[in-house]
Amino acid sequence: MPSPSSEPDVARMLARAVRECPPGHDAWLGQGIAQLLSPELTHQRTPSPGAIAFVETSRVSPAGLAADCAAPQTIRTVIGLSNAAIDSIGDLIGAHDRAGVGLRRLICPFAVFEFGVSGPIVREVARGITAADLQARLSFPLWAGPDLQELMAP
């Protein structure tokens, strides 16, 4: 569970994760931090193919493969959650190209990433952080565009 000093960051991450799942839509919650979404979402133990899976991960390849988590194979939309700090983004997203669960999106306290054929795309950043700040900590290209948004506080 999060330490008291990281609770605001975790709250921001969880509030952003809830926005991924429309009201009344089914969710499947993996172990760890994903379980904190339980009061906010309608979740199932046996997932339906249309459900959205939320999984905790600590290692994601630039292609969006998370080898340290599991999600039911019947679910097509998998959202990764990580409570990593910005200083450890190079360990979080790095050369981990082993087989793994394909993530649609990765939500962290400081940014939201999507994964495309060209690599990770940053879609949202926390106030005071830029895409250049993230790129400086990575050893591969990070894509960002004019539609980059602020990751709002909860």
Q: pLDDT by residue (tens digit) across 93-123? A: 987 666 789 999 999 999 999 998 888 999 9
pTM: 0.89
- What is the residue-averaged pLDDT of the chain? 86
Give the CA dihedral 18, 20, 22, 28, nearest 10 degrees. Answer: -80
Half-sphere exposure of 102 (CA within 13 A, CB side): 11
| Tens-place pLDDT, residues 12-70 | 899 999 999 887 778 889 989 999 988 877 766 776 777 899 999 999 999 999 988 88
Give the containing element (helix H, strand E) for 111. strand 111-116
User: What is the amino acid identity at position 118?
Assistant: S
